Structure formats: C-alpha cells, structure tokens
Structure 1
C-alpha cells in the first residue's frame, strides 16, 4: 500500500464528487420539472450530497489501520505517521458527516420522516462499505450495492428532498447514473486489484479476475448507453446528441482499458472525468425533454 494515498487531497478523492454533483443535480432537476422547484433547498440538497460523499471517502480508509499495524514492510515511525494521517482523515470525515446530518435534519423538517429513512439507509450503505461486521467491499458486493446506495438512492433522495415523495421518473432516470456509479467504483478496484489480492481483500475484481473485471467495465459502459436509448425512445430524454461528447470519451476510455495494465492509476480519475462529462450531457438531455414535453 502507498502511504501517500492518505494525504488529505488524495483521501478526499476529488474525481468522485462528480457522482454527488450529478446525482443530486438530477434529482433536483426532475423535481423542478414536476413543479417542486426551490433554489434554496436545491443548494442545500447538493451541498449535503457533496458532504456525504466526502464523509464516505474519508472514513472508508479507517479499516486500513489493521493492515498497517500488521505490516512488516515499514519502520515503526512510518507506521505511526500513516496511522496518524488515517485518524486525521477520519476526524475530518466525521465533521463532514455531522454537517451533512444537520442539513439532512433541516430537509427532513421541510419534508417528512420518509427522507430521514432514506438518509439513514444511505449512511449505512456508505459506512458499511468497509466497516465491520458487514464490510461488503471484501465480500465482493461493492460494485453491486453502490448501484443502489450511490446511484438510485442519491438521485431519489435528492428528489424526495424537493418533492417530499418519490416518483417513477426519478427512479427510471437514475439508472444511467447508478450504472456509472458502479463503473467508477470498478475503476478503483481495477487499479487496486494487485494490492487488494495481496492483502486478502476479496473485492469483486479480485474474485472474478482482471480479465472478467475489465469485461464488466466494458459491459457497464455499453449498458449505460443502451438504457439511455430506451429512455429517449420513451420520451424521458431529449437532444440525444448531448451525449455524443461523452460517447467519444467512452470510446477513448475503452482504448485505455485495453492496455496491458487496464489504464492503471489513470483509470479512476479518467473515469471520474468521464462521469462528469456524461452527467452534464445527461442533465441537459433530461432538461430538454422536460422543456419540450
């Protein structure tokens, strides 16, 4: 493992915030199109989503402490420095989580207790990604469950914060975002596959192997656009050409993925940038469908 990954900037994982921004933005947009627009509430919804993402990013490294305590590859002074960095990141993550919780309580007061249940489900999903006794990352369920917890739940939760309810539109339109949330996590697993295998972390990519994980990455990208075609044919999306730039980027990503190392350390940040590019085009396409509907 690389101690540099615990620097605050790297622990925050900046490329991952495209998920919170796009997912919450989508929920807010769909709610606004259905007559539940509120710019002040929309601001707090998106901020809460970003803070929640920061919380998950920062506290998920806490479980690495046991690995560093058991490591024989570093000196005791280095070990203590790494453990101190992880503890610092965890404390900052807790502060971000507390801020997100305060906003969540205010939004619950503005809507109803149903939102609180969604927030609790989202918190548990993020916390138990690496926390015991669940730790669904090492059970190989991360890529699967992030589809629901980060994709569908984040979009639907943002919509609920605005509309005080759930609509079928918000669920259906969340599907491409949910698929790409899984794609982003898979890119991390591909990068970390050798290290995870070395330390006995049975992620999905470790379980199925590099070749199958790379094929899954390819399949998720393709399925995202297939779902978009279906949504467009059903009238949920307009201006499909808005997704063309992201499609070209996706083709380039697949070329990177075809390299012997699957893109290595460059794959996660490139996938994060792709997510943002797709998300902007997707939001515009959703907006265009509402404007002409």
Structure 2
C-alpha cells in the first residue's frame, strides 16, 4: 500500500488540527476517526490504483511502481480490488461521526475526497490518465484534508488554509517526480500525465518550482505570522536542492529517477515534521 506515502495525507490533517486549537474535550474523541478514515482512504486509493494499473498492463513485475502485493503474490489482482473497496468502506464509516458533527461542509469535502480517491484511476473518470492527477492531488491530498479539519472544528480561516500550501506543493512534487520517471513508459499505454504534456525539460523545471514553492510560502508566512520557528523546515533545504538537481540532471534513459517518489517523500516527511513543530511553537499556548 506504499506506506511511505501515508504522511502525505496525515501532515495536512495535522496542520488543520494545529490551527483548530484549542479543541474541546468532546472534539478530541473525533481525532481517531479522522486519522483512521484518512489512512483507510489513502490505502484504498493506492490499492485501487495498483489494481487498475495492473489491469491496463502499466505496472509490470520489474516496474519501480509495481504493487508489492501483486508482485509477490501476496494477493491476487481481484483480491487487491476487494481490499481497496473494503478500505473505502471503512473510511466512509469512520467519517460518519465527522459528517454528523461537522455538518454540510464536512459532508461535501469528505464525499469529494472519497470519490476523488476512488476515481483517481478507476473508470469511468480515471482522471490520473487524463493529465489531471497533479491538480487533484494538490487539492484532495494537500488542501482538502486541512480544510475538512478546519470546518469540522469550526476554525476555518483563509490564512490557516494558506498555511497548508507548502505541504500541498511537496505532495504534488512526489506525484510529478513519479510521472517524470514514467513518462515514456506511460505513453506506450496511452496514459496522459501533466509531465508528458509539458515535455521532459519543462516537466523537470516545474518539479523544481513545486519543491521551492514550499520554501517560498514559508518565507511569506514568516512575514505574516512573525514567528521565527516557522523557518525550521529550511533545515531540509540542502536535501531539497539535492533532489532537485538529481531531477534536472536526469534523462529519460537513465535510472537515477527509479526511486524519485520515495526520495521526495522522505524529504517531504522531514520538512513536514519541522514545519508542524514550528507551527506548534506559536499555537502552543492554546494547548495549555
């Protein structure tokens, strides 16, 4: 289920929770439902993606994005689909208390999130294959979870939502790096991604802009909040530069990008830990 990617959706939730402080004792009981629903949704999305990609012949045995479940014969292809649907069902059930407490905005955002996860690759929408994966991942895995939490705890503010954008850009960079690596392979199967649309050179520069947009927004937020601790994620800047240079110097025929999605995910995870820590320093008084 590519557990290394789970922080991609959990950290935006954390941003929403931090900017919702203080939360009441009653609201604390919703946190396990919130987190477990998000994990099941993310896991279901990954598995339905694996199922559809295998069905289309996209992920062969030696492809770096191939499913370990199918590749190692832990589950048959049809079983992967059943597990995915089961996880979507659990995600929906866990979301029901959140829908009841949060009202219409949470119902709308949660429903869009669940449907967006399923139709990422599943027909008839399959928006991943229509060069729309990047924008939907930005919205549904970056902005959406934080917005849902803010509405759930009646704490929605534009400034709070803006604060999740560094994570949204990094999450999109994980997918975009993956699509740069797979561009030639995907084109053989009629799959269209944003990276293909841009072409190899522009796609690589867009990847770099996505990475450094995260740091630029952090700089803007420093001037908005006046909190020096928000610069903590800048400690990851050397790692980000190294990943960016790896992508820029790569070609479509070498193997330097084989694990680019995992490499970006590692930097993103460290960035997010430091970013959430920095935010905690100025939301900290509300936790007391």
Change (3 A) 1:181 1:217: same
Change (3 A) 1:144 1:236: farther
Identify the residue that residue 4 of structure 1 maps to in structure 2.
Answer: none
Aligned mates of 2:267, 2:255 — CA distance in 1: 16
Contact kept? 1:184, 1:272, Cα under 8 Å:
yes
Higher helix content, 1 or 2: 1
Change (3 A) 1:20 1:237: farther
Aligned mates of 1:165, 1:120 — CA distance in 2: 20
Aligned mates of 1:166, 1:159 — CA distance in 2: 5
- Shift, 1:62, TM fit: 3.0
Summarize deviations over 1:216-261 as a string: whole Å, max 9, x none.
1101111111111111110075413411322121012123222344
Q: Is 1:196 aligned with 2:189?
A: no
TM (norm. structure 2) is: 0.85
Q: Could you tell me which runs of 5 or more consecutive residues in structure 2 were left unpaired when the two chains were aligned.
A: 61-69
Q: Is 1:120 aligned with 2:111?
A: yes
Aligned mates of 1:288, 1:228 — CA distance in 2: 15
Contact kept? 1:238, 1:289, Cα under 8 Å:
no
Aligned mates of 1:165, 1:240 — CA distance in 2: 20
Aligned mates of 1:288, 1:143 — CA distance in 2: 32
Q: Is 1:39 aligned with 2:28?
A: yes
Summarize deviations over 1:6-51 as a string: whole Å, max 9, x none.
xxxxxx1122111122111111111125x45743322321221111
Q: Is 1:290 aligned with 2:273?
A: no
Q: Is 1:59 aligned with 2:52?
A: no
Q: Tell me the secondary structure at the aligned position of residue 166 of structure 1.
A: coil
Aligned mates of 1:59, 1:237 — CA distance in 2: 41
Q: Is 1:233 aligned with 2:223?
A: yes
Change (3 A) 1:236 1:62: farther
Identify the residue that residue 3 of structure 1 maps to in structure 2.
Answer: none
TM (norm. structure 1) is: 0.84
Change (3 A) 1:86 1:234: same
Which deviates further from its counterpart, 219-228 or 230-239?
230-239
Change (3 A) 1:25 1:120: same
- Shift, 1:141, TM fit: 1.4
Contact kept? 1:59, 1:89, Cα under 8 Å:
yes
Aligned mates of 1:244, 1:200 — CA distance in 2: 39
Contact kept? 2:18, 2:283, Cα under 8 Å:
no
Contact kept? 1:25, 1:46, Cα under 8 Å:
no
Summarize deviations over 1:37-94 as a string: whole Å, max 9, x none.
743322321221111110111112332354249x9xxxxxxxxx87973322211111
Q: Which residue, 136, 148, 152 being the options, matches 2:139?
A: 148
Change (3 A) 1:46 1:89: same
Summarize deviations over 1:130-170 as a string: whole Å, max 9, x none.
12332222221111221111111111112333x14632233
Aligned mates of 1:13, 1:116 — CA distance in 2: 27
Change (3 A) 1:178 1:105: same
Aligned mates of 1:207, 1:89 — CA distance in 2: 30
What pairs with 1:210-229 in structure 2 (closer than 5 Å)? 210-229=200-219
Contact kept? 1:190, 1:262, Cα under 8 Å:
no
Q: CA RMSD in A?
A: 2.5
Aligned mates of 1:42, 1:263 — CA distance in 2: 40
